[in-house]
A and B are shown apart, each in its own frame.
Chain A
């Protein structure tokens, strides 16, 4: 591991000031010399592997702003401080009651220990588990821009069928993000150019020709909070996660679903897909195909077909299209049958 200087800024403005001193506007947050750390479950792992090489770590855990550690429920929705731990949010009574899809997505992620460590903001920024990204001896356009992608012709069973490019098909493996994108969450961030709000759907970038650019954030920007709007009918929502083993594994396919129903007819559907795409993936076409329809197996299957219409399989991951469709159909029907 590269040696690093460790600092504990006292507040957000101090953290931004240090980061801005040791980074430039062109630096990607994941490649900058100075990087922020909270839970460390993703960054410490990637530093050990030599994938992340900051020479300065700014520990956000001692920041004095108490809002960073709070979950606030208001009439407008729910606001998660960036440093709230995954386990705390998963166990929060109002989160479970109002947004089952959020609580499920957190509960089914990682392990008890990791959920106690990992911050919510760090979780949404977690980097891909692509085997060729993790092991530095392989070519990887995300890790070393322009070096090529070993996954294209390699063992790409885990890789994305949606949102990929010729440069990168690395999957975004997070779960919480699928619930957030489905519910139109907003991310609040502060940096040297001030505070701003980013719609969750604009936070992550599809790889295109620049897979090393993973998010819209600047290297000196800190996520301070994640706000989820009030969606009263989100009580009828769930997160279904399918994986190689029952627990403590990343999704092969997952679905975040929230339904506004009038009897069995869909007023509005929110759908996001995990484990199958390069970024958190809102399935807009599937949502539209259900609008005004009676939700049954036939309409659910049509929605699933719409969700994967643009899918591009590679040698080993074509199974994800069928698995992803079946996951979505089951999630839709189980959500319909919830007592909400």
Chain B
């Protein structure tokens, strides 16, 4: 299994250099004017220079050295080793890549990872509690047989949690409308709606 890791490619990243300069200034107030003179000119960012990006994924800190072009989806799968989040269309048309960022459901394929610096990311790997007990939405998907092939399921589950949290799961029609961004090629839709109704009722007030 993958572990949170520092993957900075160069010995001293710009971020670490900046952080070091700032803490040195704080620790030595007498040298403040010298430190100030040294800090304002940040190195001009360069093309193809990896950017060290700090993410909190499922409550674990990660520091990833990424090409700016890396989507949050590819950062999760290929750099953090969390392959539960699925790549479907990679163009924001299917919802398979849905994750929660700071508690809100988003499409990780349409978000550059570097834009998520400092954010809290929740993927399907982070839903079960540490004793292995499934999240009520995961259990509801099993109870209602809300999938066949399962490829869209992580995205469906994260989107469903977001949908309930937003208060957009008041009725079956609401659920169908507000879950329309998650396509299921196996057409398990009636079962998905039933699963969301069950999990909604179980998590209300929780």
Contacts and interface: CB of A to CB of B under 8 A. Distances in A.
B32 interface: no
A7 B91 CA distance: 23
Given A3-B69, A40-B115, A48-B90, A113 B46 contact: no
Given A3-B47, A40-B115, A112 B168 contact: yes
A3 B69 CA distance: 7
A204 B71 CA distance: 30
Given A61-B115, A113-B162, A55 B106 contact: no
A110 interface: yes
Interface string B60-93: 0000000111010000000000000000001110
Contacts of B49: 5
A41 B110 contact: yes
B151 interface: no
Nearest to B69: A1
Interface residues of B, number: 37
A87 B163 CA distance: 12
User: Chain A interface: which size bin?
Assistant: 20 to 34
A112 B181 contact: yes
Interface string A9-40: 00000000000000000000000000001001
A247 B110 contact: no
Nearest to B107: A113
Interface stretch (B13-21, B140-148, B171-179, B190-198): B171-179
Which residue among B95, B104, B115 has the maximum number of chain A CB atoms within 10 Å of its CB?
B115
A136 interface: no
Given A44-B112, A57-B68, 11 more contacts: A1-B69, A3-B67, A3-B68, A5-B68, A7-B45, A44-B92, A49-B91, A112-B179, A112-B181, A116-B105, A247-B180
